[in-house]
Structure 1
């Protein structure tokens, strides 16, 4: 039953991979309505009701349902990353303030959704971790292995998000540098770094702007620098959060790997013990066969001895009895 549930989950993921790309929704909603955010983070089980029953089969059925749900959420998380990357490119190519504000608003909304989605995925994976003791034997091994699969996929998705943000940060810095050189072509790298990294640098840039001969163009450059500076601060915050999330999930994956290694070690020891047991059994069988063979040899030796004794007795008796009869006849005459 557990294998069938996992196969069904994989088929569902394959169907979802053919669906159109994620479209932005209201910031209060999650990308997938069928898996809404949990209202009670202290709940023992996932938001789909997993874990409310008793028997092992039903427990594993709910477990595979939850694994499928988490995989779907990770799929939506990665769709969001693609959407964020597209918005990054769009925001870097717009030329008017209104388009830039619109792109920034959409980017903020999808980034907020993605942040909440990552928190939900992490919490649901932790719930699976906390409840793996509800099953034993092979079911527990499957529980651990499948949980490790979704954790590894989530960590990979986090790395993709980090790469997207790092690329956007680099491109934003390059954009700021170009805008600074519009106003001050002889700006030093230190001055550019000052504009990129702190608000005081933006003020210095504003003062340089006043002495520029191309005021209109320089004014637009200044507004974009301000917008890019805000973007870079948001990027730094996002990267800090992603680094912490990546660290937390990496620790969980490492702990899970240790558990899997322990299971594999235990299985190897069990196989070795079984092999030794089979060897001992083979030895016992060989000893039993040898003993049985020896008993048969002793039996036939005994039979041979008895036969010899019988033959000797027969020979002796055949000689003694006639002799006695002759003696009796002699005495009678």
Structure 2
């Protein structure tokens, strides 16, 4: 993009989107009085959504730390406590993500209504500002939800490795991938462990079973909750792509309009130069014609 809105389309990092929004809030895009008034409530709503996005980002980092901590725990009780904390965090993140999504939809409706305000119609700086800021917010939410989805996949992979290790601890045999997948997908890992106890009477397996049960419950709950967050991500991905195309169309129209203005200005300048030259040559032609007339008429007059 070569226009003043090019930075709004960057999705390289969350900080880029935050900077775009902050810059706009500080009034770095010029607008007339009507547009400024039109944007005041808009920026208040944007600030609320930004605050919620920051909170979701904080929850993500906390979940990430909790997951890393869970790898070092080998007892059912602390795992249960950690599971409760993580469940609460995911539930909070889901609630905030839905709130943000609803807030963005509300901004979309407000943006349509604002087009009816004098000096704030299609193509105005107010309309472009609103569209660009909402797009930046929606992109930031999409990127955050994508990180939650990556965490969900990582938790699943780590749980799979845990089941492998516990299987080996109990049986002394390294489980193949098919066996591990079956134990996880059918929820038979706990049943299998109990069967081993009955057959082998290995009391030390009890703690392992309790740990596996807690981990399995935690993973199932995480899959469900983070799956809902993933749906928010999918919704945002569709909207970000759609709005990105719209903004590209707006940017293209602005570029074309600027091009037409430049060409019109150049044509006008050329017309002025041509007009000036034409006037100059007309005067010169009249002057020459007068001289010719004098040359012809003067001898006749003198003879008389």
Structure of larger gyration radius: 1
Question: Which residue of the partner structure matches residue 145 of structure 2?
Answer: 158
Q: Distance in 2 between matches of 1:181 and 1:211?
A: 16
Question: Which residue of the partner structure matches residue 265 of structure 1?
Answer: 252
Question: Which residue of the partner structure matches residue 146 of structure 1?
Answer: 133
Question: Which residue of the partner structure matches residue 218 of structure 2?
Answer: 231
Q: Distance in 2 between matches of 1:178 and 1:92?
A: 12
Question: Which residue of the partner structure matches residue 262 of structure 2?
Answer: 275
What stretches of structure 1 move > 3 A for 4+ residues in a row? 5-10
Aligned residues of 2:132 and 2:247 also touching (Cα < 8 A): yes
Aligned residues of 1:6 and 1:64 also touching (Cα < 8 A): no
Q: Which has the higher contact order (CA 8 A, sep 6+)?
A: 2
Q: Aligned match of 1:173 in 160, 164, 181?
A: 160
Question: Which residue of the partner structure matches residue 183 of structure 2?
Answer: 195
* Bigger mean CA offset, 66-75 vs 193-202: 193-202
Q: Distance in 2 between matches of 1:75 and 1:240?
A: 21
Q: Distance in 2 between matches of 1:209 and 1:195?
A: 17
How far residue 282 of structure 1 moved from its aligned partner, in angstroms, is 3.0
Q: Which runs of 5+ in 2 are unaligned?
A: 1-20, 27-33, 115-119
How far residue 165 of structure 1 moved from its aligned partner, in angstroms, is 2.1
Q: Distance in 1 between matches of 2:78 and 2:281?
A: 99
Q: Distance in 2 between matches of 1:71 and 1:96?
A: 39
How far residue 144 of structure 1 moved from its aligned partner, in angstroms, is 1.0
Matched, 1:221 2:201: no
Q: Distance in 1 between matches of 2:179 and 2:281?
A: 100
Aligned-CA RMSD value:
2.2
Q: Distance in 2 between matches of 1:89 and 1:241?
A: 22
Which TM-score applies when normalising by structure 1? 0.74
Q: Distance in 2 between matches of 1:296 and 1:233?
A: 93
Aligned residues of 1:183 and 1:212 also touching (Cα < 8 A): no
Q: Distance in 1 between matches of 2:66 and 2:274?
A: 78
